[in-house]
Structure 1
Amino acid sequence: MAVFDGAATGEQVVEVFASQAKGRTFVITGAGKPSIGSQIATLLASASPAHILIASRTASKVDSVLDDIKQIDPSIKTTFAQVDLSDHDSVRHAAKEILAAAPKIDVLINSAGVMALKEYTLDKQGIELQLSSNHVGHFLLTNLLMPALLAAGADNGARVVNLTSSAYLISPFRFDDWNYSAGAAYDPWTGYGQSKTANILFAFGLTKRLQHRGVTSTATHPGYNTDTQLGSHLTVDDYSAISPTRKRNTGKEFVFEEPRFKSLSQITATTLVAALDPDIPGQSPAFLQNSQVVEPEAHARDAESVEKLWKLSEKLLGQEFSY
């Protein structure tokens, strides 16, 4: 089996694992153009999936992606579902639409997100917006889509891939003050770091509960790219705050991995490995970086934190999910 590294491209991954995409259904969140999600969607289209469904906030940013897919292969079914992941009512409505359109989901890629919001912002439920959009909304959507994931899991297996970031190193999950003392303790990078730690903990918790039913989960750090709009509101000076913020939170320095920056093609590779490589379910739960499974730091995988986050997420949603 091919072994990929930090220089791998999404095209290379899809070419090697094309058989793992053929005839399958993929649901991708936050795939408006330009984004990692939109690149993943169009690359998958070259491998003859049966259905690509994009769940995103803004239809106008997704229309061109769906058009691109149709140009690549007009036989692929394409669907758009509008969702605001920071609005629990919107997520519940979108989940019903998605289940109606895709009663079996082979791969769910949770790629939507926001990064380092400069101002402390709450969603309509009163949850800090990075935690809400990056984790809580995806936690709710994933669990609501579980009937379709379990349907695929009972057949050939189903996967949930959470896009995280090496920014998880900036902060453990703040169980004692997850909402930043009503903003008094907030800073942008701690907020982002906590939400990215949550993405990994969620992958571990989901696999623990559902691996025996054919559903596994991973978290992927795709790398850094300046062409997507994720960090368009940030300056060079803003990024310089990452290391001192980690030092303050953990006592450790932040070191960017190599390659520091990736092309739009390379930025998709690690997530596509997680979604397609047939060896990954057997290694799950897992954290992937530079297309390889690596062990995340303890705060993103310890069993106590995994369970505490699951219970907190249920509390924030006012709903329990038992399997």
Structure 2
Amino acid sequence: MSRFNENTTGVEVVQALKDNIKGKTILITGPSDGTIGGQTALDLANASPKHILLAGRDISKVQPVIDKIKANHPSVTATFVKLDLAENASVKAATDDINARIDQLDALINNAGVMAIKNYTKSKDNIELQFAANHVGHFLLTNLLLPKIIAAKGRIVNVSSQGYMCGGIVWDDVNFHNGKAYNPWLAYSQSKTANIFFAKSLAAKLSSKGVLAFSVSPGLVLESKLQTNLTMEEFGEGKAIAEKALGTDFKMPDAALRPKPLVAGGATSIYAAFAPELSDHSGAFLVDAQVWTEPLMPHATSQEDAEKLWAISEKLVGQKFEI
């Protein structure tokens, strides 16, 4: 049984794992102030890591986090990295910057994301925006940073969501037929299923290199800014879509519907990134700072499908990665 639960805060996990975090180099995507990523960075700073790299689009949104870290933990280096996950060229530029700054990367927390964008939108690379920002950008970022992660025998954490339950990968066209078949929640769930598959693929490919990979659900953190583009009615559509797609007997798990405060939003990511007891659980899905022991939805379980997604992702970034 895990030492943590649904009420555990990020700081509590950090205090328990402080010896594992001290002196480490960590990269977090989507670390704006007042978000789960920003809170995760602030929590981790309490354990004196060597360096926290904060990768986001807008320095003005990240600077308050950097300022708080420098004020409260002056021994911790906090660095902004400009990164737009919805643009492959930006991801490549960011990884050039990161690789020049560090010798190794102990933990990569792929936290950034967008949620249920109402109107069909494409990225600069002509990829549906949620799939681009939530999965494809992180796929490229992670692969380009792998030498540094392997050097540290580090960990990769993909922040997914229980929202993956609404639906899986649209295998015939991840772009929803140029928007003709678009639904904001099905697009969101496709991207969150992709986060799970990506962790499964990484776990399989990197097992011989001492690198672990996980996907996590942070919980329903209403204080975060992920849902700011949604009305309460639109937010409720996700549950309705899941129930319609999965049948009348389907019930969203309590963990998906129980609100958490922002201070608990980073707990599961931090646990995945540093808990020593997870060494035999690479590829697992984590909820409430523990391994999720119930079966995942069938559309998110196949290792064959995980590899199929890997091939699709390589085509979308125009680069093959042999690990």
Normalised by the size of structure 1, how large is the TM-score? 0.96
Aligned to 2:6, the other structure's residue is in SS state coil
- 2:36 pairs with 1:36: yes
Is structure 2 residue 294 aligned with structure 1 residue 298? no
Mean Cα displacement is larger for which, 51-60 or 281-290?
Answer: 281-290
1:192 lines up with 2:167 in the alignment: no
- Distance (whole Å) between structure 2 residues aligned to residue 278 and residue 74 of structure 1: 27
Instruction: Note the alpha carbon deviations across 1:203-229, whole angstroms, 9 max, x for none.
Output: 000110011101110001000122111
Alignment of 1:41-56 (within 5 A): 41-56=41-56
3-state SS, counterpart of residue 96 of structure 2: helix
Cα distance in structure 1, aligned partners of 2:233 and 2:263 = 27
Task: Look up the match of 2:109.
Answer: 109
1:91 pairs with 2:84: no
Match of 2:119 in 1: 119
Of 215, 221, 231, which aligns to 2:217?
A: 221
C-alpha RMSD over aligned residues: 1.4
The 5 A counterparts of 1:13-28 are 13-28=13-28
- 8 Å CA contact retained: 2:40, 2:265: no
Instruction: Identify the range of structure 1 (106-115 vs 211-220) with the bigger mean alpha-carbon deviation.
Output: 211-220
SS of the aligned residue for 1:39 comes to helix
> What whole-Å deviation, never above 9, does each CA across 1:282-309 have from its counterpart, x for those lacking one?
2111100111101422321211111100
Paired residue for 1:183?
179
Alignment of 1:1-323 (within 5 A): 3-153=3-153, 158-251=154-247, 253-258=250-255, 260-294=258-292, 295-323=295-323
User: Could you tell me which amino acid in structure 1 is paired with residue 265 of structure 2?
Assistant: I
CA distance, structure 2, for counterparts of residue 169 and residue 13 of structure 1: 27
Q: Residues 94-132 of structure 1, C-alpha deviation per residue, up to 9 Å, x if partnerless? A: 000011112200000000000000000000111000000
Identity of aligned residues (%): 43
CA shift at 1:177, angstroms?
2.2
Q: Which moved more, 1:141-150 or 1:288-297?
A: 288-297
Contact 2:45 2:76 in 1 (8 A): yes
CA distance in 2, matches of 1:206, 1:171: 22
In 2: Cα distance, 1:243 partner to 1:22 partner? 40
- Structure 2: state its 5+ residue gaps: none
Q: Is contact 1:242–1:254 with CA below 8 Å preserved after alignment?
A: no
Aligned length, in residue pairs: 319
Q: SS of 1:135's equivalent? A: helix
Counterpart code for 2:268: T
Distance 1:175 1:254 in 2: 25
**Letter paired with 2:302:** D
The CA deviation string for residues 63-83 of structure 1, in whole angstroms up to 9 with x for no partner, is: 110111112211111211101
The CA distance in 1 between the partners of 2:296 and 2:193, in whole Å, is 10
The question of whether the paired residues in 2 share the 8 Å contact of 1:170 and 1:254 is answered with no
Q: Distance in 2 between the 1:245 and 1:2 partners?
A: 32
1:199 and 1:84 map into 2 onto residues whose CA distance is 18
Q: Is the 8 A contact 2:48 2:73 kept in 1?
A: yes
Cα separation, 1, equivalents of 2:223 and 2:188: 19
C-alpha distance in structure 2 between counterparts of 1:98 and 1:301, whole Å: 33
In the alignment, the residues of structure 1 paired with residue 2 and residue 236 of structure 2 have an alpha-carbon distance, to the nearest angstrom, of: 37
In structure 2, relative to structure 1, the CA distance for the partners of 1:243 and 1:73 (3 Å cut) is closer
Q: Partners of 2:19 and 2:291 in 1: how far apart?
A: 21
| Structure 1 residue ranges without an equivalent (≥5) | none
**Could you tell me whether the CA contact under 8 Å between 1:164 and 1:221 is conserved in 2?**
yes
Matched residue of 1:282: which SS? coil
The Cα shift of 1:239 comes to 1.7
CA contact (8 A) 1:103 1:147 kept: no
